[in-house]
Structure 1
């Protein structure tokens, strides 16, 4: 098992996957939004015309096989036409959060993303995936959610984030939060707090959900590290054994 959060990057599969726009009828500007979201990543974007298919379909392809597909409207409504402020302010409710199948299917592909102002879009993919995992934890109402914030004060500065963690904690899920000790949650705040000043507390971004064995919701984990200011290496996974290893490392090392 990896001995650091960085070590888990060596354990991901990093499959060769391509997004294919089928029979695109939308303007070039929409195509460019998708390109901006994935700029500089290992995921390529192609376009084809197929007379036997609907218009504005996005397929995720691996080894010439379609493994997921979504409509372009799904991508627009869930990520391409929104910004991270919706999550920080709580304007987008937790039960409204989703990631289209073709983007969720980019699991175990390492991403390097820039935050604002270097990029308006790149980091949004990891933010949305974080909320997807938090929604799973809330809907399960059981299991364990572990999440890092670099600064614990984000839980009071960002109303939307605070609302999410109150909701997940009150659902019955065991919630643990990690970060530099710059804010003390009120006694009624339904989370266990872990503080420190080492690298994992200051520079990691993880959201890890492990459901109970008898549950019907799958595990999920996102891990990202900020080795340079505002530049993040990250991936997400749904592989049960890898999620469990990440959770165990956090639980025993932090």
Structure 2
């Protein structure tokens, strides 16, 4: 029988987004911004293009899938969320949980498989996963009930990352059932009212998951699944498919 890490990898491998691209429309920002956006998605299955479109607002980003526009965001919001910041914004301050910081052209890239590198190989790629983690946590906080599960590799990240700890404090004060998972290298204080799960198998060491299963089926389910494939190198995706989210929930319950 497949172990937890293998089952999570299967979730990632079955993701298959359609052909899609991010198109910057009527850009007035300087060239380095366009290059930075292109660099952020370099080597990914998302093309970055540019177009001038009459009777359309300047400095907009469109997510185009199979020839149709499925989401739009201001270039400024994309810059603020994942171009002109680093992951410390989300780790050191709770502001990253606010959903306004997650532009829809990024959050709607669900079912896209990303292969990402962290610092120092890349200063921006891994930030996409951090942004989506906060987006899912923000959705759970807004709803306030259901189940949220998150794997941290090491529980000590709740101790060293003040912004992350503050996010989970806020989550624990709702009616959510909050579960955190990681290698047992730090004692989660009783004041942080979460259910702690500790272990040392590959699922604990290699996975980065944030799963929200709401209390009502009509509310959007969400889950991020990523696996470390090398030193600070990741393959991952996120999904809003309720059936897939429930499968991820089962893997975390049964395999951790």
Displacement, 1:77?
2.0
Match of 1:144 in 2: 147
Q: 1:90 aligns with which of 76, 90, 93?
A: 93
Q: Deviations over 1:46-76 (max 9, x none)?
A: 1111223221111111111111111111111
Question: Is the CA contact (8 Å cut-off) linking 2:25 and 2:50 kept in structure 1?
Answer: yes
Alignment of 1:80-229 (within 5 A): 80-90=83-93, 92=95, 94-95=97-98, 98-213=101-216, 217-229=219-231
- What secondary structure is seen at the aligned counterpart in 2 of 1:126? helix
Match of 2:8 in 1: 5
TM (norm. structure 2) is 0.94
Aligned-pair RMSD on alpha carbons? Answer: 1.5
- What secondary structure is seen at the aligned counterpart in 2 of 1:143? strand
Question: Is the CA contact (8 Å cut-off) linking 1:156 and 1:162 kept in structure 2?
Answer: yes
- For structure 1, which segment, 146-155 or 134-143, has the greater mean C-alpha deviation from structure 2 after superposition? 134-143
Q: Deviations over 1:155-207 (max 9, x none)?
A: 00111111111110111210101110001112232111111110000010000
- What secondary structure is seen at the aligned counterpart in 2 of 1:52? coil
Runs of 5+ consecutive residues of structure 1 not aligned to the other structure = none
TM (norm. structure 1) is 0.94
TM-aligned CA distance change 1:10 to 1:95, over 3 Å: closer
Measure, in 1, the Cα distance between the counterparts of 2:116 and 2:233: 6
- What secondary structure is seen at the aligned counterpart in 2 of 1:213? coil
Displacement, 1:148?
0.5
Does 2:78 align with 1:75?
yes
Match of 1:18 in 2: 21
Displacement, 1:4?
1.0
Measure, in 2, the Cα distance between the counterparts of 1:152 and 1:122: 23
Displacement, 1:103?
0.9
Displacement, 1:98?
2.8
Does 2:249 align with 1:247?
yes
* Structure 1 residue ranges, 4+ long, deviating more than 3 angstroms after superposition: none
Displacement, 1:36?
2.2
Q: 2:62 aligns with which of 59, 62, 75?
A: 59
Displacement, 1:93?
5.2
